[in-house]
Structure 1
Amino acid sequence: MEFKKIEYIDRKTGKTLVEKVPGESFLKFLYYNPFGVLPLELLVKRKFLSVLYGKKMDNMSSKKMIPNFVKEHSINMEESIKSVDEFTSFNDFFYRELKPNSRKIDRRRGVLTSPADGKVFVIENVSKDTEFFVKGEKFYLEDFLKNKSLAKKYKNGIMFIIRLAPVDYHRFHFPASGMISKTKLIKGAYYSVSTHAIRKNFRIFCENKRTLSTLFTDSFKDICILEIGATMVGGIKQTYIPYTHVKKGDEKGYFYFGGSTVILLLEKQSFRIDKDILENSRNGIETKVFMGERLGVSWRFREEED
C-alpha cells in the first residue's frame, strides 16, 4: 500500500486539511518499509518501551520540551488551567485540564456527543462495512471485545472511532448521561493507532491494550466505550466512579503521553449519524471534532428534528 499524508475535514469550514504528524517519517519506516517490520515487532509494540518512555515524560526534566511543542503545534494555552511554566513534567502538560466552558457540550436530549477532541470516522454497520474498510483484513467483534455476548449485542451496530493525535487535549468524557459500569482491562500490544498504521492493519484495534466499559442510557440503549492504548502511551487512567450516574460531558479519564483512540459502539437501529460525518466516512476521510460536539441523534428523538 502506498504511503500518503493524512487528510481530514475541518468541520467548521468544510475544508480538507493535511494533518501534521509528529514522527511521521518514523511511522512511514515502521509500517510501510519492509525493513521496519523487525524493530516494530521486536521493540516498538512491546509494553516495556512505552512504559519506559512514559516514565521519561513523568520526569521533571521533560518539562523543557513543553514550550517548543506548544509553539510548533499552535496549541491554545488560553484554554488550559495551568500556564506553560506551571507544569511539573511533559505528561502533566499532556493530560492538562481545561478551563470550564472551554468546550461547548451539546446537552440537548437525544444528542450523542464526542467523548474527546480528535478526528472521527464512523462505520455504519460494524459487521458488514468493516470488511471493506480493512481491505481484506478480517475484523471480528468477538476478537475486539473478548466477549461473545457483547459481540452479538453490537453486531450490525455503529462504530465511532475518535482518534486523538499527540497534539490534542487528552482527557476523555462521557458522550451521554446514564449509569456507568466498571472498567475491564484487555491486555495487548502497543502498536501505533495513527491512521498511517490503521490503513495497513485495522486489526491493531484487536491486538492493542484497551479498556472497556458500558454506559447504560435511556436515549441510546447501551453504549460500549473502549479506550485504546498505543505506542508510547504510558497508561490509560480512569477517573470516574463505577456504578454511578454520570452526566454528558463529565470526565471519564485521560491518556498519558502518546496519541490514542476512543471507540463507541452503539446497538443496531438506535441512532442516526450526522450527515457530514457519515458522508466524509463513506469517502474514506476523517472529520475533526471537539469534545462535547454532536455526532448524531437517537432514533427515539429524531422526529423532533424532522
Structure 2
Amino acid sequence: MPAEPITFFNRLTQRLETEAVYGEGFLRFTYENPLGSLPLHALVTRSAFSRWYGSRMDAPASRAKIAPFLATYGLDTSEFAEAPDSFRTFNEFFYRKLKPQARPIAPGDDVITFPADGRHLVLPDIASCTDFFVKGTRFDLAALLRDDSLATRFARGSMLISRLCPVDYHRFHFPCAGTPGPARLINGPLYSVSPIALRRRASIHWENKREITLLRTPALGDVLLLEVGATCVGSIIQTYKPGVPVEKGAEKGYFRFGGSCFITIFEPGKIRFADDLVEHSRAGREVYARMGEVAAHALG
C-alpha cells in the first residue's frame, strides 16, 4: 500500500501542496513499520542520539552538506543575512539569520503574527478538540504544561501549533509585544513532530522535551510560548532577556539541527484566528506561512 503523502495549504501560492519530507524513508520505517519501534525506543527518542547527531552537524565536515541541501530544497539564498559559503558548519547554516526585510512584521496593535516559519494548525477552543491528529484523541493541556493552575486558566483558550521542518528558517520570534518571564524546562523524549509520527502517536506534543515562557501583554493578558524539541534537535537556544519588554517580531531564540515545533496559547476570548487557518485546521490540514505574517486578531 503506497504511503499517504503529507499535504498542506501554502498561503504564499494559495495552493494545496505535498511536503518534501527530509529523511522520509527513515521516518516511515521508524513510525509506520512494526520493526521500526525497536530503534525508535532504543535509540531515536533518547537525548544522547540527538546530541550525537547535533555534534555531527557542528563538525567542520558537515559544511559539505550545505550546497546539496540548497540544491535539493531550493532555498532562497537572497534572504540570508550572510552568504551561504560563509557558514563553517551545517548547524551554523541551519540556524542562520535572515535579512530583516525578508520577514516583514505585519503592523497593527490588534494583529498577532506567526512566531516562526512553518506549517501551522490551530485549535480555536482547546477543550472542544476531540480529534487531535487521531480520531478520539483530546489535546492534553495539563500534561503539556505540567502546571494545574495554568491548565485550568487556558483550558478553553486558543492554540497555534507551528511545525518547523529542517528546510525552514529556524529562529522563533515573539508573536506580540509584552514582557517575557524565564523559560521553564520540562524534560522528555525526542520523538519526531512530523505528521508521519503524529498519526501514530498524537501525544508527542505533550511528551517531548519542551520549554515554556509566560508573556505578559497589555491587551491579550498572558500568552504561553512553548518550544518543543524533536528528534535530532541538538538544543533550544533562548536569546531574549527575561523581564525585558519586547516588541512584536523580536527574536526569542532558535533551534539547532532538526525539525521542531513552537506552540502559542492564548487565554479564552482574547483572539480570533485568520479564516484560512480555521478552515484548513478543521479539515486536519496545516497551512504554510512565514514568521511575521498575520496569524490572528485581538478581540475587544
Tell me, yes or no, whether TM beats 0.5.
yes
* 1:206-285 pair list within 5 angstroms: 206-285=206-285
RMSD between superposed Cα atoms in Å:
1.4
- Partners of 1:144 and 1:243 lie apart in 2 by 24
- Partners of 2:33 and 2:149 lie apart in 1 by 39
- Partners of 1:133 and 1:71 lie apart in 2 by 32
In the alignment, structure 1 segments of 5+ residues that lack a partner are 301-306
In structure 2, the partner of 1:44 is 44
Matched, 1:56 2:56: yes
- Partners of 1:253 and 1:185 lie apart in 2 by 14
- Partners of 1:95 and 1:271 lie apart in 2 by 30
Determine helix, strand or coil for the equivalent of 1:262.
strand
Q: Does the CA contact (< 8 Å) of 1:141 and 1:155 recur in 2?
A: yes
In structure 2, the partner of 1:153 is 153
Deviation at 1:125, TM superposition (A): 1.5
Deviation at 1:202, TM superposition (A): 1.6
| Change over 3 Å in CA distance of 1:2–1:207 after alignment to 2 | farther
**Sequence identity (%):** 44
| Change over 3 Å in CA distance of 1:169–1:14 after alignment to 2 | same
- Partners of 1:49 and 1:164 lie apart in 2 by 20
- Partners of 1:77 and 1:14 lie apart in 2 by 23
What TM-score, normalized to structure 2?
A: 0.97
Q: Does the CA contact (< 8 Å) of 1:95 and 1:169 recur in 2?
A: yes
- Partners of 1:192 and 1:2 lie apart in 2 by 21
| Change over 3 Å in CA distance of 1:282–1:137 after alignment to 2 | closer
Deviates more, 1:131-140 or 1:74-83: 131-140
Deviation at 1:201, TM superposition (A): 1.4
In structure 1, the partner of 2:118 is 118
How many residues were matched structurally? 300
Q: Does the CA contact (< 8 Å) of 2:50 and 2:232 recur in 1?
A: yes
Deviates more, 1:188-197 or 1:134-143: 134-143
Map Cα deviations across residues 152-199 of structure 1 (whole Å, 9 max, x no partner): 111011111000000000000000001111000000001001111112
| Change over 3 Å in CA distance of 1:80–1:132 after alignment to 2 | closer
Deviation at 1:136, TM superposition (A): 3.0
Determine helix, strand or coil for the equivalent of 2:226.
strand
In structure 2, the partner of 1:304 is none
In the alignment, structure 2 segments of 5+ residues that lack a partner are none
* 1:1-306 pair list within 5 angstroms: 3-131=3-131, 133-300=133-300
| Change over 3 Å in CA distance of 1:132–1:205 after alignment to 2 | closer
| Change over 3 Å in CA distance of 1:237–1:132 after alignment to 2 | closer
| Change over 3 Å in CA distance of 1:85–1:12 after alignment to 2 | closer
Q: State the AA in 2 paired with 1:5.
A: P
Q: Does the CA contact (< 8 Å) of 1:137 and 1:201 recur in 2?
A: no
Deviates more, 1:42-51 or 1:137-146: 137-146
- Partners of 1:90 and 1:42 lie apart in 2 by 27
Q: State the AA in 1 paired with 2:142.
A: E
- Partners of 1:234 and 1:44 lie apart in 2 by 13
Map Cα deviations across residues 69-105 of structure 1 (whole Å, 9 max, x no partner): 0111001111111112110100000000111211011
Q: Does the CA contact (< 8 Å) of 1:110 and 1:220 recur in 2?
A: no
Q: Does the CA contact (< 8 Å) of 1:54 and 1:233 recur in 2?
A: yes
- Partners of 2:174 and 2:221 lie apart in 1 by 14
Deviation at 1:130, TM superposition (A): 3.9
Q: Does the CA contact (< 8 Å) of 1:3 and 1:32 recur in 2?
A: no
Q: State the AA in 1 paired with 2:64.
A: K
What TM-score, normalized to structure 1?
A: 0.95
